[in-house]
Amino acid sequence: MSDGLAFFLEQVEAVSRRRVGCGDPPAELAALGLLPADGAEPVWAQMSASEWFWLMRGMARRDPLLAAALASLRLASEHGERQGTGFALHAFRDGTRWRFKLPVLGTQCESWIFCDGQRMRRVSAALLRQVEGDCFECDDAQTGPTDACAPSLISSLWRDRLALVSGCLWRLWTVTVEHAESRPMFRRHLGDFPMVRLRLLILLAEVLRADEVSERAAAASPVAGAGLMGTLRRCSEAIRVETQQICGGTGYMRESAYARALTWLDWCDGLMRLGPIADGGLDDRLADEIDRCVAARLEHAGISADRGAALLRPAAHRQLGEHAA
């Protein structure tokens, strides 16, 4: 990560910490200098596809709300919506309803657009029902299809969803570590127990693997990356289950930072289902390449190559756990 991006992401965290209630994403994006000025090129037009992916992933790790808002702003702009007269939502179908996760408060938009995978749809802002917090929904019959998405727009949506998923997985790992370090347990903290520390290390390796998979998928087309998307969904589910076990389940954690991070990951999972997904696993060559990259990143973080390689072998998890205990 460049020094400039690292400094900018610190500002994202500062905005997130100052937020009261559900916030006002357009105003916060403007404060960060991300809203395009009149006649000026938007920030996404000044970045390569990989730079945009890193920005979106970094923002989602620190504040999924602002990352989703920025992705929605780009979707509206590339679809031809003028700022202030239209805004976009990233949505997924849940039975006969569409589910949205982005507040409409703080905007004057009369209608919102979203992509159903291949076509654009429009829904009146008055028809959006607040489910809880920043989650909204509307009935499928209340939306009207407009025009087919251009291939370039579908590719942009594909990369944005991958960046959001990868960033939200990092967010989930971060709040899980924070929970383990602060949760009292037998006159210690949960994170003080060797077995819990080991599980967090294994979890870090899984998040890094998902990170590597998402980067490779973002560099491919939606069709060519369908197998990588399937692998990413499986990684995401495994990470979700493990973090829930460490944090005590969603019932106990209902009002916590972990629970809020989990709702964003669940929303991202719905977005992933809109694109092509293949159930087959990675071929051996690619799996080995990803494992080598993850081991290198673990070593860069101060975890030895031997230890990192062991964490990458699922069959070794039990033996490592017995050794740590």
pLDDT > 70 fraction of the chain, expressed in percent and rounded: 86
The answer to whether 76 and 35 are in contact (CB under 8 A) is: no
- Asked whether the whole model's pTM tops 0.75, one would answer yes
Can you tell me the distance from the alpha carbon of 315 to that of 99, in angstroms, rounded to the nearest whole number? 38
Looking at residue 319, what is its pLDDT? 36
Structure tokens at 198: 């080991």
At 40-59, the pLDDT tens digits run: 788 888 888 899 999 999 99
**Checking DSSP bridges between strand 87-89 and strand 119-124, what pairing results, if any?**
unpaired
Looking at residue 316, what is its pLDDT? 38
Domain boundaries, the chain: 3-149, 158-324
- What distances in angstroms separate CA 129 from CA 97, 111, 161, 248, one per listed residue? 11, 13, 23, 31
Closest by Cα among 153, 161, 144 to 76: 153
**Residue 211 pLDDT level (bands cut at 50, 70, 90):** very high
Q: Cα–chain-centroid distance for residue 143?
A: 26
CATH dotted code for 158-324: 1.20.140.10
Q: Which residue has the higher pLDDT, 110 or 139?
A: 139
Can you tell me the distance from the alpha carbon of 59 to that of 25, in angstroms, rounded to the nearest whole number? 13
**Residue 323 pLDDT level (bands cut at 50, 70, 90):** very low
